[in-house]
Amino acid sequence: MTQPHRDPGARPTVVLLTADGVVPPTHLEELRGLADVRECTADTLAEALPGAEVLFVWDIFSGALASAWHAADALRWVHVAAAGVDALLFDGLRDSDVVVTNARGVFDGPIAEYVLACVLAHDKQLHHTERLQRAGVWRHRETTRVAGRRVLVVGTGGIGRATARLLRAVGTDVRGAGRRPSDDDEDFGVVLDSARLVEHLGDVDHLVMVAPLTEATRGMLGEAELAALPDGAHVINVGRGQLVDQDALTREIAAGRLSAHLDVLVVEPLPDGDPLWTLDGAHVSPHMSGDVVGWRDTLSEQFRDHLSTWARGGVPGPVVDKSRGYVSG
Amino acid sequence: MTQPHRDPGARPTVVLLTADGVVPPTHLEELRGLADVRECTADTLAEALPGAEVLFVWDIFSGALASAWHAADALRWVHVAAAGVDALLFDGLRDSDVVVTNARGVFDGPIAEYVLACVLAHDKQLHHTERLQRAGVWRHRETTRVAGRRVLVVGTGGIGRATARLLRAVGTDVRGAGRRPSDDDEDFGVVLDSARLVEHLGDVDHLVMVAPLTEATRGMLGEAELAALPDGAHVINVGRGQLVDQDALTREIAAGRLSAHLDVLVVEPLPDGDPLWTLDGAHVSPHMSGDVVGWRDTLSEQFRDHLSTWARGGVPGPVVDKSRGYVSG
C-alpha cells in the first residue's frame, strides 16, 4: 500500500473474541501497546464491536460474528487465528468491504509433518504392532516401502504444498488435486482437477485431504470417490471433517477395505458411541495436527505483526478471497 | 578380480542352511541352474557341508556353523541373508580364509524409513493419541516440530547412512557416532567418537542405535549413557538388542524419563512377563524394521547375483571384515 487507508495517527480498537476455557493469546501486552483491546466472548461480542476497527478471532470455531454483525459499525479488518475461515464467513461479511486475513503459513510445516507421520504409521503398521504388543503377541509381518508410494494431496494451498514437498523428500510419488490443473507445478509436478476427483483415485495409496471447506469442496470425498479408491488405500484428513462423507468412509473402514487417520471430523469432539472410536482401521485425533509446542506464540506474533502494519496505515496480507473462502494464490 | 580364484568350469556346491517353519528363499530354480544345492537345517548341516564350497545362511539367527565347522572341508565362501553377522562369527571362521558376505544394502532404505516412522510417531504422539482414542477420550495436546530435532545415529554403515540422509531430508539436525570421528562426513556432517558416547548424549532428542554387534559395541548404551540422555529423550534400536543395557533402559522407561521403540531385544521373542510388553513408553516390534514386502525376493536375488559372480571365478563383495564384524567402509 502506498496510500495509508486509515489515519496512522489514530489508535485502533481491537476486539479480541475468545471463549471461556480457551488459553488466551500471548503477547497481549504488546497488543495493548499498539491498540485499545476489548476482550469478549461470543455472548458479549455485540457489546464489544461498536466503534472497533479490528476483530481478532482467537476462538477459531466461533461463528459469533454473523449474529453480532449489526453491531459491527466500524469494522474494517478481521483476523482469524486459523488456516480455515469456514466457521467465520457469512454473506454479510462476504458482501462487505471488511478485509479478512488468516493464519497463513503458521500450520504449513507442522501439518506436513503430521501427514508424513500418518503415512509412515500406516505403511510401517505401527498401530497394528502396538495392538499386538499390548496383547502380548510377537508376530513378525512384512511392511511396505514408503519410497514410491502414490500419494494424492487434495488442496494446493500452503499446507498442501508443504505436505507435498515433505512427502517428495522421502521418495513418495506425489500429485496434487486442485481447482487449477497443471502439468508443471513446482511442488506437485502434476495438479489434477479436483472437480473430477473420482477419475483420479484408482491408483492412490495415500489420499491426503487438506482443501479448505467451501461450498465447492463440501462432501467432495463422497461415496463414489471412496468406492473408486483401491482396496487398502489410506485416507488422511487434516482439512475439515465436512470434506468427506464420514458415514460412507466409516462403512468402508468397517468393511476392512480402507483405513484412515482423521484429525478433523464432521462433529468435534467426535460423539460418544461413534463407531470411529473403536474401528481398528480408524485413527482419530482431536484436531491437533498443526498444534506444535509454541503454536499460540506463533499465532499471537503473527497477529501482532499484522496489527503493527495496520496501525501504520497498511493492510496485512495476503488477504482471504471471501467469495472463494481461502487465500487465492 | 583379474585372476579367477577357482576353476570357472567346475560347478559349485552350495549348502542352503534353513530351518523348519522358515519361508524358503525365492529363485531356488535359478540357484539350481548355477550350482548343486543341498538344503539342510542346523541338525543336518554337518552332513551337508563336506565337499561344499559355498554356504548360504538363510536361517539368519543360526549359529550352527560353529559346531559343524569340522565338516567344512571345502568351504570357501559364506553368505548371510542379513545385515548383522554377529550370530555367525566364531574364532575358527575368523581365522580361516573363508570369505564372508552379508545382505549389504538390502535393508538400508527400509530401516531408514522405519526409524523415521518411529521419530514421527514419538514427536506427534501417535501412540498416546491411539490410547486416548481407544479409551474414548478426546483430549487436545500440543505435539513437537520434527524439523530441528537433534538426532544422534550410532553406527555409520550403510543403514546408518541411509537413516541420516532420510532424517536430514525432513529437517532434523543429525549427527553420527562411529569408530572414525569426522567433521566433514557427507551423510552425517559430524561423526562423533562412539567410544566416548557418554559425552555426546546430553542434548539428544532421538538416539538411533544401528551399530553392528561386536565386542566393541556390546552394551555400549549402558546405565551411564542412558543416564546422560536428557529427560524425555527417545531411544530407537534397530541394531541388536545387546547394544543396550535393556534392564537399565527398562528402568528409565518405567520411571517415565525415557521412551523407546525397540525392534530388537536381548532375547527374541521378548519373554512373557517382561515389563517392556506393557510399559506405556516402550514400543516393541518383532525384529521387522527392514522386512518390507518383497524382502525375501531381494535377498534371494542378491545371493543369486553373488553366486553367479562366484561361479564365474569372481569374489562377490564387499566382504565382511571378520575381525571387526562388519563390512568396513
A34: part of which helix (H) or strand (E)? helix A28-34
Q: What is the DSSP letter of A134?
A: H
Contact B146 A170 (CB under 8 A): no
Q: Is B127 on the interface with A (CB under 8 A)?
A: yes
Chain A to chain B Cβ contacts (< 8 Å): 139
- Grid coordinates representing B294 are 518383497
Q: What is the C-alpha separation between B216 and B193, in angstroms, rounded?
A: 13
Terminus-to-terminus CA distance in chain B, angstroms? 19
Read off the pLDDT of each residue in B320-326 and give the average, rounded to a whole number. 96
Measured between beta carbons, the chain B residues lying within 8 angstroms of A269 are 138
C-alpha cell at B136: 474414548
Residues within 8 A of A (CB atoms), B 36-65 only: none
Burial class (CB in 10 A: 0-12, 13-18, 19+), B242: middle
Straight-line distance from the first to the last Cα atom of chain A, in angstroms, rounded to the nearest whole number: 19
Compute the average pLDDT of residues A230-235.
98
Residues A291, B142: C-beta atoms closer than 8 Å: yes
**Cβ atoms of B163 and A125 closer than 8 Å:** no
Query: pLDDT-derived band of residue A225, with 50, 70 and 90 as boundaries?
Result: very high
Q: Output the nine-digit C-alpha cell for A199.
A: 477419475
| CA A52, A54, A59, A60 torsion-angle sign | positive
Distance from CA of B212 to the nearest CA of A (A): 21
Nearest CB neighbour to B130, from listed A120, A127, A166 = A127
Question: pLDDT at residue B73 above 50?
Answer: yes
Per-residue model confidence (pLDDT) at position B6 = 76
Q: How far apart are CA B55 and CA B62, in angstroms?
A: 12
Q: What pLDDT score does B8 carry? A: 75
Query: Please, what are the domains in chain A?
Result: 13-106+293-311 (3.40.50.720), 108-284 (3.40.50.720)
Averaged pLDDT of chain A: 96
Write out the H or E segment, with its range, that includes residue A227.
helix A223-228
Min Cα distance A95 → chain B (Å) is 35
- So what's the pLDDT on residue A114? 98
pLDDT at B7 over 90: no
Is residue B1 pLDDT above 70, yes or no?
no
Q: Which three cell numbers stand for residue A233?
A: 488405500
Is the minimum CB–CB distance between A146 and chain B shorter than 8 Å?
A: yes
Average pLDDT over residues B102-119: 98
Interface residue A264 vs chain B (CB under 8 A): no
Q: What is the mean pLDDT of residues B49-68?
A: 96
Query: Nearest Cβ partner of A126 from B117, B139, B294?
Result: B117
Q: What pLDDT does A311 receive?
A: 94
**Contact residues on chain A for B278, CB-CB shorter than 8 A:** 134
Q: Which of B288, B289, B295, B299 to mutate to test the interface with A (most CBs of A within 10 A)?
A: B288
Q: Which residues contact B192 (CB under 8 A, 6 or more apart)?
A: B152, B175, B176, B177, B178, B181, B200
- The yes-or-no verdict on residue B4 having pLDDT over 60 is no
Say whether the peptide bond before residue B318 is cis (omega within 30 degrees of 0): yes
Q: What is the pLDDT of residues A29-53, one digit of tens each?
A: 999 999 999 999 999 999 999 999 9
A326 by Cβ neighbours in 10 Å (0-12 / 13-18 / 19+) ranks as: buried
Q: Looking at residue B210, what is its pLDDT?
A: 98
Question: How near does any CA of chain B get to the CA of A68, in Å?
Answer: 29
Report the chain A residue with the minimal C-alpha distance to residue B286: A140
What is the average pLDDT across A25-31?
95
Angle at B260 between CA B257 and CA B266, to 5 degrees: 115
What average pLDDT score do residues B248-266 get? 98
Which pLDDT score, from 0 to 100, does residue A4 have?
56
B136/A contact by beta carbon, under 8 A: yes
The answer, for B34 touching chain A at a CB cutoff of 8 Å, is no
User: Are A162 and A186 within 8 A, CB to CB?
Assistant: no
pLDDT at B2 over 50: no
For the stretch A105-157, pLDDT in tens is: 999 999 999 999 999 999 999 999 999 999 999 999 999 999 999 999 999 99
DSSP for B112-171 reads HHHHHHHHHHHHTTHHHHHHHHHTT------B---TT-EEEEE--SHHHHHHHHHHHHTT
Q: Determine the Cα–Cα distance for residues B48 and B71; give it in Å rounded to an integer.
A: 8
pLDDT band at A1, cuts 50/70/90?
very low
Residue range B17-30, pLDDT digits in tens: 999 999 999 999 99
Q: Which residues of chain A does B129 touch, with a Cβ-Cβ cutoff of 8 Å?
A: 283-286
The answer to whether residue A75 scores a pLDDT higher than 70 is yes
Confidence band (pLDDT; 50, 70, 90) for A321?
very high
